[in-house]
Chains A and B, each alone.
Chain A
């Protein structure tokens, strides 16, 4: 355990600016890409970066629990995405998004991804614009209404997660997309509230809320494809 905590300390030593930059990249992946695999990778990166930022406001032991919750959530999201893609390949899906329709043509999606890495969905520019707007709103918000009890860069990250989460949930066409948005939004709130209320029970309950939300959206997404 001591070694793990040393690792957490070492990760925490990463300065906040790179962590916020990493957060922008991770959120960009979740918001702009529409392939479930890329979105899950983005979510995993987001949980890691939020964990790094968490170390600046709460105890490392609690951060480990949050990272564990993030890992479970990402695994569940990945399994759901794969099950949905499988159901669509078998022709059970009701409707498919651009990315998923492409996946349905060939079972080896990763080969296709390697072959044509620069092919993005048609609405990618709009989504990139939404990311830019979210960045602007988060920056302005953190300057105009700085969050109490958290360092300024952590405050910026909270705003960014909150705004991108709202955008994701609002722009989603399917329950899984809505779920990603809600989880991103909740992560932003968790990062802020962790500094206000460092109670272990609250951290545990918030983790449980995230897990149940993942379960709920996975159920909704799979029920839709059946």
Chain B
């Protein structure tokens, strides 16, 4: 029930934040407060606690029925919702000094509310439809480049798969001798998630989106929307355990994961701007995540969650840095944003899994998991991780030349960026605060 209240509250808060859109600071502060309160509430309130509302007793977690549809908050959904709400809070706080769009708070809240609903509503067919609504709404945060249209296209093309698979699985329940239905359903589900995650060969929307659009809007899509897609995929695997028992499952995920990471790494060596670099680094990271999922073991799933957390940290830090750089350029200032460049570099290094950043912690776990059986694959993944770092080294000199600032006092924005950069390194040195608890 708390999840439903949370989703409803986020959607309702769209109204005051829209009214306050001209006072961006107030709107973003309100959005961040609501999102953070829900995040901490979801993490700290025991799920078995009950409360009375309008004379009826509701459980905080568990199963609730609304209009004949089940709202289920299990341990996975609880983790996902906490993750989602806290990402939202962090993004709204970062957007305060760094994002100039007036609609970031109301549209961002709407997207988060719909994503929260998608994470808890069952059957999964409704979750996919609500996810599609969130995707369409998130396009309103973009600036109208090609990337937005591509992102929307790939996500819309992903919609039919899970919906038809749902019907096929119902048919299979009635005729269990028709194993072909299961194979078709697996194929459709796999294809849909490949489209939404930007796996090879459906990757073009990822760098295209990151290259031209506002970095914090892209960060919301990569972390909140992308994170929800991952959690829904994990939910699919829990709901339909036969999916990962297929003999082709592990092989397909390994091929797709390594392929996406290697292509992302190769393209990452090119010099196409900071935004594109973010897109390629995300591709490399997505490849690693898919590969980890293909392991299917308990350790693999734990690693998967850790990687999602560290990936989000990297994306947010890099997006904050890119926003600071973009804001200075947009304002026509000749001086660069040194802290912006530092944050962008720290975020990218974390996404690339470079030591001692937080991204390295989870990558180290993956390399150790794979090294015994597949040393060549580990070598390929290491090389793929180096790709965006090479791209960074090619980008940095030009960025540093573009305008070193004169001595000036550190602003609040600089402090924000410095904290984000330091935390990306600090959590890499002391990862027990974030993962492995």
Contacts and interface: CB of A to CB of B under 8 A. Distances in A.
Interface in A184-213: 185-186, 189, 193, 196-197, 201-202, 205-206, 208-209, 212-213
Contacts of A197: 125, 163, 166-167
A216 interface: yes
Interface in B128-167: 129-130, 132-133, 136-137, 139-140, 142-145, 148-149, 152-153, 156-157, 159-160, 163-164, 166-167
Given A201-B69, A219-B144, A223-B144, A182 B137 contact: no
B96 interface: no
Contacts of B236: none
B249 interface: no
Nearest to B103: A219
A179 B67 CA distance: 32
B140 A216 contact: yes
B126 interface: yes
A178 B69 contact: no
Given A206-B129, A212-B136, A178 B153 contact: yes
Interface residues of A, number: 32
Interface in B146-194: 148-149, 152-153, 156-157, 159-160, 163-164, 166-167
Contacts of B145: 224
A20 interface: no
A216 B139 contact: yes
A206 to B, nearest CB: 7
A2 to B, nearest CB: 28
Given A193-B160, A201-B126, A208 B133 contact: yes
Contact of A202 (B129, B139, B142, B164): B129
Given A193-B164, A217-B152, A209 B125 contact: no
A220 B133 contact: no
**B142, B145, B149 pick with most chain A CB within 10 angstroms:** B149
B152 A193 contact: no
A222 to B, nearest CB: 7
B187 to A, nearest CB: 13
Nearest to A213: B136
Given A182-B156, A189-B160, A209-B129, A215 B149 contact: no
B129 A216 contact: no
B255 to A, nearest CB: 25
**B143, B152, B159 pick with most chain A CB within 10 angstroms:** B152
A175 interface: yes
A172 B133 CA distance: 23
A29 interface: no
B153 A205 contact: no
Nearest to A169: B153
Contacts of A169: 153
Contact of B133 (A179, A201, A212, A219): A212
B111 to A, nearest CB: 11
A196 B167 contact: yes
Interface in A72-89: none
A185 B129 CA distance: 15
A220 B139 contact: yes
Given A205-B126, A216-B136, A216-B139, A185 B156 contact: yes
Q: Which 7 A-B pairs have the closest CB atoms?
A: A223-B144, A212-B136, A216-B139, A205-B129, A224-B144, A178-B149, A175-B149
5 contacts: A182-B152, A193-B167, A206-B129, A209-B159, A224-B144
Given A193-B164, A197-B125, 14 more contacts: A182-B153, A193-B160, A196-B167, A201-B67, A201-B69, A202-B125, A209-B133, A212-B136, A217-B139, A217-B149, A219-B139, A220-B152, A222-B144, A226-B144
Interface of B: 67, 69, 125-126, 129-130, 132-133, 136-137, 139-140, 142-145, 148-149, 152-153, 156-157, 159-160, 163-164, 166-167
